[in-house]
Amino acid sequence: MAIERTAGTRRRSLAAIGLALAVGVVVGQLTPIVAASAEKPVQPGAQGVGPQTPSAKVPLAGVDMTQTYVNPINLPGMAVRNIVGTMPPTDANVANTSQIPASLNLETWTAASGRTLASRSTVGFTRISENSARTGADWSALNVDGTIYLYASGAMQNAPNNNRTVWSTTDYLTWTPHEMNLGLVAPTVVQIGDKFYMAGNNTPVYQADSPTGPWTSMGSFLRPTGQTLSVGDVQFFLDTDGRLYLTYNIGSPIMGAELDPNNPRQLISDSVVLWTFDPRQEWQHIGDNKATYTHGYVEGSQLFKVGDTYYLSVASGGTEYTTYATGVMSSDKPLSGFKETQQNPIGYGNNHPSAVYPNAGHGSFVLDNSGNLVFFYTYVIAYEEFFERRLGMDICNVIPAGPQEGAIDCELSNTPQLAPGKKISGRDDVGLYNVATNSQAYWASSYAPGRNPYYGGDRSLSTWWEPADSDTAPTYIRGFGTVFHISAAQIQWKELGRTFTKDNAVQYTLEYKDIPTNTWRPLVDRSTNTTAYTADYVTFDRVLTNAVRLKILGTTENVKVGVHELNVFGENYNLVASKGMITP
C-alpha cells in the first residue's frame, strides 16, 4: 500500500529530509550516479555520516508517459475571477495610520489582535489588476466507490453561484467536470449511506442523492443548545465507526465538534479547541518572508484518519502569499490529544527555488481504494489579485517506524510523476528535468512592451511572454542550451483581457528541431482543441532535440493569450552514459 514506505522510493524519512534541507537537496532525488572513478557514496539519511552531496535524477525505464502528470494539474474549465484594480491618483490616505494606535496600545495581544492590526495597517493600499485570471483553491476531495470527486472555491463572486463545477477522476489523469446547481466557497462534502451532505463558508448544510447534486438546503448548523452556528472553512469527517465530526474556523483557534450522522447540521457536543496559532513557529507567520509574528491566518483545517491514527491538517501563512503552507498534528482520538510528531510544514521548501510553486496551502487528503494517501493542495500566484490560485497534487506516505513513526511525509513535485498507484520499481518520479529554463535561449515573433520572451521560461507564474497586438501568427521558440531527449511539455497559458470565460480553449501546435535535418517537425497538434486547459500538459514520443517551437493559432473565444511558462521535460543521462562519461 502507498501509505507504507519502501526502500528505493523517492519519499524519504523526515530525518533524511532534515539532513537534505541542511545541504540544499531538491525533491525528486533518485539513485545516485556513480562515476567510474568514484567510491559509491553513503545514502542520504544514513546514521553517523556528515552532509551528503545531492545525487542527480536518473530517468526511470519503461515509463508510459501518458500515465504521468505535472503540477499544476491539467484541470479543465477552471473558474475565471474578474477584479478590476487601479492605483489611487495620489498617495493621500495611503498608509493611513489613524486606525493603528488603538491596536498598538493594547497591553496584550491575541492572534485576533494581529489580524486586526494587519487590516488596519493596509488602509489606503490597493493593487493593479490587468486581466481577469483563472482561479481554484481550498480543494476538498471525496472518495465515492473508487471515484475521486474534487470540490473547490472558485472566483468567490456572487456565491452560491460562483463555481458550480466539481471534477471527478478514476485515474488522476483525466478529470471530468460536472456542473452543480450551486457553488460554495471552501466546500466540504461527506457521504453517509446513500446521502451526500455539503457545506461551505457561512452556508447552510445541503443534501443530495449524488455527489454532483442537485443540492437542497437543510438549514444552518445548530449548536447543542439549538443556537445557529455560522462558521467558515468547515470540513466534515466520517469516522470508520460511523461517528461524524466537524472542524472549522478561519483564523485561530481551529475548533472541532461531533455531529449527528442522522442530521449532519446538528452538533451533539460542545466545540473544543484543536489547534491554535503559535507565533514561535515561523511557517505559521503570514507573509512571503515570514516576518510577521502577530498572526498567521490559521485556516483550512481537515480531520482525517489513516489506520488507527487521526490527523489534523491546517493551512497558514495567508492565501495571498507564495509561502502558504500546511502543517499536520496527530492523535489517537478525534477531538483531543493532537501533538506534532513531525517536521512542519509538510511538503514545503525541499524543491525551492527550483520549483515554480513552492507552497502547499488549503487543501485535503484522501485515501483512495488502492491505499494511496493523495494530497490536493492550493498554491498561489497572486499576480492579478490575491485569490489567483491553482491546484497541486502529490502522494504522501506515513512513516512506519522510527522516532517519527506515524508522521505524514510529503514532497511537492514540479516534474512528471506517475499517477497514484502506478509506481515502477517503487518510484513515482520518472527522473526528468525541466530543460526549458535556459534564460538566454529564446526567440519570439514579437513581444508586447515589458512582456519579452525571457519571461516564458523564468520559473515564475507572475510573469509572462505576450506577443504584440499586431502579431497575427504568434510564435515562441525555447532553446535548451544543450541536447536532450524530451517526452513531455506543459504550457501554462496567460489569457489576456477581461472577456474570456472558463470555457475559453487555446489552439496551437508544438514542434521540435530535428537535429539531423535541421528542420522543424511536429510534436503536438492541438489546432482544433476545444478543452479549456489553463496548464496544458502533453506527452509525445521521445525525441532528441535542442529546442521546441510553439505556434499559437487562436482561442475559441478569440482572446489574446501569452505564455506564463513553457516547460519541457527531458533527460540526457542516457546520451551521456552511451558516450562513456558515466557508468549507468
Average pLDDT rounded to a whole number, residues 54-67: 91
pLDDT of residue 438: 79
End-to-end CA distance of the chain: 30
Could you give the 3-state DSSP secondary structure of residue 534? coil
Q: What is the pLDDT, as a whole number, of residue 532?
A: 96
Query: What's the grid cell of residue 237?
Result: 469527517
The CATH code belonging to domain 434-579 is 2.60.120.260
What number is the average pLDDT over the span 491-500? Answer: 96
Class of 135-422 in CATH? mainly beta
The 10s digit of each residue's pLDDT in 407-456 is 998 888 889 999 999 999 999 999 999 999 878 899 999 999 999 999 99
Q: Give pLDDT, residue 217.
A: 97
Looking at the chain, the domain(s) classified CATH 2.115.10.20 span: 135-422
- The pLDDT value given to residue 156: 78
* Phi, psi (deg, nearest 5) at residue 476: -135, 125
**Over 50: is that where the pLDDT of 47 sits?**
no
- DSSP designation for 514: E
DSSP secondary structure string for all residues of 251-306? SSPEEEEEEETTEEEEE-S--EEEE---TTSGGGSBSTT--B-S----EEEEEEEE
Residue-level pLDDT at 429: 94
Q: Which grid coordinates belong to 323?
A: 509561502
State the cell numbers at 563. Answer: 505564455
3-class state of residue 500 by DSSP: coil
State whether residue 170 is helix, strand or coil.
Answer: coil
User: How does DSSP classify residue 67?
Assistant: G
Separation between Cα atoms, residue 530 and residue 528, nearest integer Å: 6
- Kindly report the average pLDDT of the chain as a whole number: 88
Sign of CA dihedral 419, 568, 350, 493: negative
Per-residue pLDDT at 161: 62
Find, among 103, 520, 554, the residue nearest to 294 by Cα.
103
Burial 156-190 (b: 16+ CB within 10 A, else e): beebbebbbbbbbbeebbebebeebebbbbbbbbb
What 8-state DSSP symbol labels residue 104?
H
Contact call for residues 388 and 134 (beta carbons, < 8 A): yes
Return the pLDDT at 12. 35
Cα–Cα dist 345/340, whole Å? 11
- Residue extent(s) of CATH 2.60.120.260 domains in the chain: 434-579
Per-residue b/e over 237-274, b at no fewer than 16 CB within 10 Å?
bbeeeeebbbbbbbbbbbbbbbbebeebbbbeeebeeb
